[in-house]
Structure 1
């Protein structure tokens, strides 16, 4: 038996409990992992609260992230004792996830835990931080240099935004952070933001083309925020879009893309191929100061994960929530 968060039935609210589960109930997979830490992401909060139909089958253990040690393996790449990390691949949605003490998964979904990080630190990064790294990789791959101008980060106090700011600042970029939480300006500047702007400047319908301000953008909001940010990107710049905190709609025009040569990169973290994942984690290991993770992350025990998910939906969570599944 092992402890887990279990979603047993859809509904509003769904039937969710912190309970114990028999190991015989674990789904199929060629690697069994003893989990040390997991996380709470926005998607996990949606699953636990039932605010969006994230879970595709029941019962389900949520948790799109996990870090731990291989207990058993029939996969050629992994042996008992290996330290591993998993992000995405549908765990917590179609396959039992990381908000538990044990998981059974496909070995192809795992990567080695970077030596630069402990399991807790890897989960302080989690899918949010790994997604932020994918975004920074896209902007750097586009050829944007620190001398090209400011990079705007929206949803700045969230997990993606927080890590994106830290990564960009470490790489020498000047960062502008957009947030609806002015009281968190000190937190954002501690991470490396040079300026902080009110997200309200971007949240309403704007002109198709606006004053050129940003060399690039990391956007976790979507909707009008993404449209306005794109309309303010300088000629030849780029936008890495990875979220929908404001909405899934894109109520804009093609003007920035065909008149200013702006490139829009869609960033998917769930099904990204392994080589891309490894590059993103290598950037995190190289550029992210582990000390910054103490600022970004707050730890909660598994027993408090359900209540914490509601705070996530309410918008009162700053940075990352790490879950110690063994308490």
Structure 2
């Protein structure tokens, strides 16, 4: 085996072979520049996605004020009212100048503690300066003028996952109305508004879901597949030559996000569906709808970008998950009591708690 010195990055301009050069950076960025981003299907353009950690004492608002939009773009949610007080982490798109400014002598050297590469593919590679209406996936509903529905209060369930069947009967309330108050898919498929606070993807509200359900209700029965066809989330007629669906389809026989949300917030407890429970196990006596908080409260669901899901290493989840959490917070009022479930993880490491 022949060993080669780490190169000088074409995007960052950093000589990775220099002692201490990798401090403050994750190995995925170093590897990507070493192999010319060969594993990401495309070369970076003007911007790279990633997660930034600031030194103690700095806030995202102060960081954005000091940096320049010429080389740092931070989504509005990180500086808006939903951002947690003292937040020192944010997802961002950065240009080449960013890496010069975080070196010794640069204006951001004492501000930025660490940069972690996001997935340089799909929606994360969109030019943040490009207006939403000119993007290929945007339709007539792509512009959002403000919050499309009141912010949620009280107890709220949040979910960050993949393929959430938003019109499933288990996610309706006692009046057969959607419990999913907000649904944000991070890729460019389907219909809906592009959330101003995030700058990409499509959002649906409970009213949007209910409208599609009413349009597909016949004889008092809702055709769930018809709902997903109308919302552009159906697999019908949209399969690649290899037989694989190109995106998250919501009308498949099974899906991870639907299963997880049903376990977390569905109307039928898991114990009611398990056979041969041991004697004395506290299982409910019937299939009646329970009245616990998890089964009754509104839901904010985020469907991760498909490129993130396809990366089974989990190494590129950082931007999508952090954006998802800020989106969920942005749809909740200050008095909301929020519980968020994410059942995704990384395949890297020994899985013994040490990685």
TM, length-normalised to structure 1: 0.25
Which of the two has higher C-alpha Rg? 2
Q: Where is the strand percentage greater, Structure 1 or Structure 2?
A: 1
TM, length-normalised to structure 2: 0.24
